[in-house]
Amino acid sequence: MSFITKEVGNGLRRNFTMTVALIVSVAVSLSLVGAALLMSAQVDRMKGYWYDKIEVSIFLCGKSSVAFTCTGTVTPSQRTNIESILGSLSPTVQDVFYESSADAYKQFKEQFAGSAILANISPDALPESFRVKLDDPANFEKVASALQSVQGVESIQDQRKLLDRFFQILRGLQTFALAVALAMLFVTILLVMNTVRVAAFARRRETSIMRSVGASNMAIRLPFILEAAVAAILGSTLATAGILAAKYWVIDARLAPNLTFIPFVTWPEVLVIIPWLYLIGVGTTVLASSITLRRYLKG
């Protein structure tokens, strides 16, 4: 064991430059892999949080409405009928909130306070509406089909569609990040194979002597594999440190206090990724070095 440890130390010193390059390559590729995994966890967390708050907006007819279900401003009887239909859709419909034109205008003024657009908007321009909370956002069609032809209903808006577009963009970015990470991982594997090949060539005399005195293939191969594994562990540690630093100094210290409407990934979600980084880093490195060494053990 002391011989193998000594050989590993000597090998790392002899190939110091290539070892450093390998460590950096592993660190960069695993940082990208970790970032892609974190992005996936972040998207899932945001979807769960925002989808739970999604409402269906049912806009009622106003004076200028042109929908075939409108013949002027919605009447009290039509409004009562719509509310009754929504009540009959329980438990799909969990909660119903009515917003009058005056309430909508008040909220609009708060949102656009100081804006010139307020001068062109009157309370009559903002329709009455029902805000509907569903047990599952996927049940929108059930509500839409029940109300789309009802007198007094101008339009039905599914907020989920707006979020779906946003999450499609995030998923696209996540896929791109993962593709870049895999490309970097492939480059790292090539670098591992080249590093091991150079190390084996430089020590071909030693390995030849070991083979001639009856050393097993594993005894000859193990120092090279361990050298690559040590470099992978160091690279994985750097990647881990980078991800933990990003969580602490970027997400927790900068983003979370200013973007309170976004649920960011938690520490348990970050920590569960760390073992995978070591597994991927060490596993791919050991596998690549083992495959490379086979050609030098023939005969």
CA angle, corner 145, sides to 59 and 166, nearest 5? 65
On the CB side of 92, how many CA atoms lie within 13 Å of its CA?
15
Q: Which amino acid is at 285?
A: T
93 neighbors 143 (Cβ within 8 angstroms): yes
Question: Does domain 53-163 correspond to CATH entry 3.30.70.3040?
Answer: yes
Buried b / exposed e over 14-39, threshold 16 CB at 10 Å, is ebeebbebbbbbbbbbbbbbbbbbbb
Instruction: Work out whether strand 153-158 and strand 129-134 pair parallel, antiparallel, or are unpaired.
Output: unpaired
Q: Return d(Cα 30, Cα 175) in angstroms, integer.
A: 15
> Which residue, 200, 193, 221, is CA-closest to 285?
193
Q: Return d(Cα 171, Cα 285) in angstroms, integer.
A: 29
Q: Return d(Cα 144, Cα 129) in angstroms, integer.
A: 14
| Domain spans, the chain | 2-50+164-296, 53-163
The sign of the CA dihedral 67, 70, 73, 78 is: negative
Q: What is the pLDDT along the chain (299 residues), one digit of tens a residue?
A: 554 565 555 555 666 777 888 888 899 989 989 988 898 888 888 887 877 777 888 999 988 888 899 988 899 999 999 999 999 998 889 899 999 888 888 887 777 766 666 667 777 778 899 999 888 877 888 888 999 889 999 999 887 777 778 888 888 887 888 888 888 888 888 888 887 777 777 666 766 666 666 666 666 677 778 888 888 999 999 999 999 999 999 999 999 998 888 889 999 999 999 999 999 999 999 888 888 877 665 54
- For 43, other C-beta atoms within 10 Å of its C-beta total 17
